[in-house]
Structure 1
Amino acid sequence: MDVTVFCGIDWAESHHDVALVDESGSLLAKRRISDDAAGYRLLLDLLAEHGDSPDEPIPVAIETGRGLLVAALRTGKRPVYAVNPLAAARYRDRHSVSRKKSDPGDALVLANILRTDMHAHRPLPADSDQARAIAVLARAQQDAVWNRQQLVNQVRSLLREYYPAALDAFLGKQYGLARAEARAVLAAAPTPAKAARLSLAQLRSALKRAGRQRGIDAEAERLREVFHGDYARQPAAIEDAMGYQLAALIGQLDAACVAANELAEAVETHFRQHPDAEIILSFPGLGVQLGARVLAEIGDDRTRFTDARGLKAYAGSAPITRASGKKRYVGRRFIKNNRLITAGFLWAFAALTASPGANAHYRRRRDQGDWHAQAQRHLFNRMIGQLYHCLQTGQLFDEQHAFTSSSADLAVAA
């Protein structure tokens, strides 16, 4: 299909500037539209006036890949190119050295990017609505987990200032201060003085409210003993003030924990309904939440990556080579999908105990001199290539076929 008209949109919060150019670079039309349904209709009408149709859609370049405007543009088969703002700034210098900048000028630059270099840019993937919904939920759940951990760190830092007994009481437990029991007890006793006055009945009541069902009496006795221990104390007025601060943080932490749990349930429900879920879950180290995060970042558009190397580069697991003259350096990528590489490290770490072949591969890399992170990244690089192959061919993971470099590998890991 020969494209003769190209569209560029400079995105803003309240309005958007649109420019259309032909194949020679001549400006065909420019307009400013509002960020609402009327503005979107005006944009679609403007594209239709210049030949946009379902069979021959006009490609659009914009500096974002999300939002209602992008959703309106992605109706039908129209290719939408999300151009990195840094890349757009470099193209701007091709047309002017005065460093002048304007919103209509940026829209024109984006249109010309497609006119001259559309082959060098990739359109937004044609993922299904189901995969895009999973991406929304998985990213939100990951953000909620990160937010929860930030609040836990704030609570821990505050407790170190005036309430060390609480740290001794809960940090040694699984999930530490994020435990429902810890939050319930600290909400009932936000200061050491109040904790020392808690009776066994009150402690048992707090543990029951947190959902504990077994060993309640023994845990209440343990907490009472800790809270009656000999610890340094702040002056009473300062201790009370810090208690108010802790109560506020505990309220935020409660909300963050509830949000993370509810989003995790929504992720599981949606992810298990996706056709790719069975293949993804067949890989060692990938559970529902981690598998959903991987699917969220790679999508289900089979044409998005031409080969496994493209996916590895996108994930940041494949090394990058910088060569000039006699100098040659091979190192890790800095431009990558940060969410996917974060999930990849967790995946590789979990696979060490779930897959004998993965463990043997990791040990071999460590024996060759790799640091822990290097060996993990190398393992992730191999496994995401295998995931690409399985998704393309519709096969489940097979341990024997996945690690066939040496039959001794599995024996070493056993």
Structure 2
Amino acid sequence: MFVGDDWAEDHHDVEVMDGSGRRLAKARLPEGVTGMARLHAMIGELTGDDTDTLEVLVGIETDRGPWIRALVAAGYTVLAVNPLQAARFRDRLGVSGAKSDAGDAHVLADMVRTHGHELRPVAGDSPEAEAVKVVARTHKTLIWERTRHTQRLRHALRDYFPAALIAFTDLDAADTLELLGKAPTPARAARLTIAQISAALTRARRKDIAGKAAGIQAALRAEHLAQPDVVVAAYAASVQALLAVLTVLDAQVKTLQGQVEAYFGQHPAAEIILSQPGLGSVLGARVLAEFGDDSHRYTSAKARKNYAGTSPITRASGKKKVALARFVHNDRLIDALMSQAQSALLHSPGARAYYDRQKARGAGHNAALRQLANRLVGLLHGCLTNGTLYDERTAWSHHAENVAA
């Protein structure tokens, strides 16, 4: 039996279909316990006494949340459908462009009926892994938000206070936020004393305070092109708001980092992940969060690499065959893996040698780094599958032998 579930924030449009494609039932169910009970009742009426032998496949465009948990707990096979896949499949069934929630439920039901063997079941990750995912994703989101607000601050300063960009190289640093908060206009900044600047640098634990304080004061007092006073005042008000947001974001990033490290440290796979080159508690938590810990999710190292987006895709037509980088991938995961590869260059001689060989073959930095990340994903898969810690000599022995030969 095949179920298409088109979900919204407060309801689910559901269609149930048999193996021949015949619609057995459809309904709009409320989100929550009531809706789940009605879904069970609907399927129970259709299956009768055949519950032990009949498999129920549910297609839905998400892989997380209480509703998904309840479907899995009920014994249904839940298939996570990428919205892009569903849109392409919808185009196969009609060309009019018509779209509705009930129609999307029909598309999902028919998709799991005809292509269920090609869709990915929702992973059975442990609650510990889910907890790591929650804090690791929020931590990374806050870092991205801090970067966005820092860029907004940079753009504003460039428009009315370019001297600040010369004086402060790190706009989201504690001393920069403090001094800009005290003096958000060029006139007030020019009146900052060496003592005030030095005090802020001391609180931020900077080195060479005397030299840096003199350099900041000189930059702030240098001549520059000015905006009208009323425009400067408006920019100053905007900048102070951005500074307040950045101060809160910086504090919460630090607080949540402690939570990431704590939750990750409690996971059984933490020791194996931390043994990998280039992975610390934060990056390791992100890698675990995005891969999950379902031991049956990745049937091989290649499957894990494909999901990671580090392995290339091949396009072949006639005699022409090219390997290209994957551009459709989990952004959070590929960001963590590329950071790991960059860090591994400094901590693993084998990783460094592997990267240098890719460069010697003509690969650019990003391409060589992606190939190294792909290799590291394979090593991680082997360690997790076998329950062993990373060993530098074992990890790169095959490549060393090939070079020697």
TM-score of the two chains, using structure 2 as the length reference: 0.91
The answer as to 2:16 corresponding to 1:20 is yes
CA drift at 1:260: 1.9
1: CA distance between counterparts of 2:256 and 2:226? Answer: 39
- 2 CA distance for matches of 1:54 and 1:253? 56
Identical positions, percent = 45
Query: What is the deviation of 1:193?
Result: 1.1
Q: Is 1:184 matched up with 2:178?
A: yes
Given that residues 188 and 206 in structure 1 are in contact (C-alpha distance below 8 angstroms), is that contact kept between their aligned partners in structure 2? Answer: no
Moved more, 106-115 or 377-386: 106-115
Tell me the residue number matched to 2:151: 153
Contact 1:19/1:31 (<8 A) preserved = yes
- Structure 2 residue 34 is matched with structure 1 residue 38: yes
- 1:44 CA drift (Å): 2.9
CA contact (8 A) 1:357 1:410 kept: no
Whole-angstrom CA distance in 1 between matches of 2:163 and 2:255: 31
Q: What CA distance in whole angstroms lies between the structure 2 residues aligned with 1:367 and 1:327?
A: 24
Structure 1 counterpart SS, 2:28: strand
> What root-mean-square deviation, in Å, do the aligned CA atoms of Structure 1 and Structure 2 show?
2.5
Residue type matched to 2:153 in 1? V
Q: How does 1:31-180 map to 2 (within 5 A)?
A: 31-51=27-47, 58-171=56-169, 176-180=170-174
8 Å CA contact 1:360–1:409 kept in 2: the answer is: no
Q: Cα deviation per residue 1:372-413 (whole Å; 9 max; x = unaligned)? A: 1111011111110010000000111111011113548999xx
- Relative distance call for 1:322 and 1:56 in structure 2 (3 A) is same
Q: Once the 2 structures are TM-superposed, how far is the Cα of residue 20 of structure 1 from its aligned partner?
A: 1.0
Out of 295, 308, 311, which is 2:304 matched to? 311
- C-alpha distance in structure 1 between counterparts of 2:276 and 2:328, whole Å: 26
How far, CA to CA, are the matches of 2:344 and 2:402 in structure 1? 15
Alignment of 1:335-350 (within 5 A): 335-350=328-343
Does 1:295 pair with 2:291?
Answer: no
Q: Conserved in 2, the CA contact under 8 Å of 1:271 and 1:292?
A: yes
User: Measured at CA, do residues 226 and 106 of structure 1 come closer, stay the same or move farther in structure 2, by a change above 3 Å?
Assistant: closer
- Give 1:382-401 correspondences, 5 Å limit: 382-401=375-394
Q: Separation in 1 of the partners of 2:315 and 2:378?
A: 23
CA distance in 2, matches of 1:46, 1:124: 22
C-alpha distance in 2, partners of 1:260/1:409? 44
CA distance in 1, matches of 2:200, 2:363: 48
**What amino acid sits opposite 2:293 in the alignment?**
D
Per the TM alignment, residue 244 of structure 1 is displaced from its structure 2 partner at its CA by 1.2
In 2: Cα distance, 1:188 partner to 1:253 partner: 15
* Cα-to-partner distance string for 1:209-246 (whole Å, 9 max, x where unaligned): x5548776665555444433344433333222221121
Q: 1:324 aligns with which of 317, 326, 334?
A: 317
In 1, Cα distance between the equivalents of 2:147 and 2:204? 21
Structure 2, unmatched stretches of 5+, are none
The farther-off stretch of 185-194 and 330-339 is 330-339
Q: CA deviation at 1:270?
A: 0.5
* Rounded Cα–Cα distance in structure 2 between residues aligned with 1:157 and 1:105: 46
Are 1:315 and 1:338, in contact at CA under 8 Å, matched by a contact in 2?
A: no
What SS does the aligned partner of 2:171 have? helix
Tell me, yes or no, if structure 1 residue 195 matches structure 2 residue 189: yes
> CA-to-partner distance for each residue in 1:319-363, whole Å, 9 max, x for gaps?
111112222121112222222112121111111111111111111
Within 1, Cα distance between the matches of 2:171 and 2:283? 23
Q: 1:34 to 1:393 in 2, by over 3 A?
A: same
Q: 1:380 to 1:264 in 2, by over 3 A?
A: same
CA distance in structure 2 between the partners assigned to 1:204 and 1:371 by the alignment: 43
Structure 1 residues 398 and 246 mapped into 2: Cα distance closer, same or farther (>3 Å)?
Answer: same
Gaps (5+ residues) in structure 1? none
User: Under a length normalisation based on structure 1, what TM-score does the superposition of the two structures give?
Assistant: 0.89
8 A Cα contact 1:8 1:62, kept in partner: yes
Q: Give, in whole Å, the separation in 2 of the partners of 1:408 and 1:80.
A: 45
Partner of 2:263: 270
Aligned-partner Cα distance in 2 for 1:283–1:383: 8
Determine the C-alpha separation between the residues in 1 that align with 2:10 and 2:382. Answer: 44
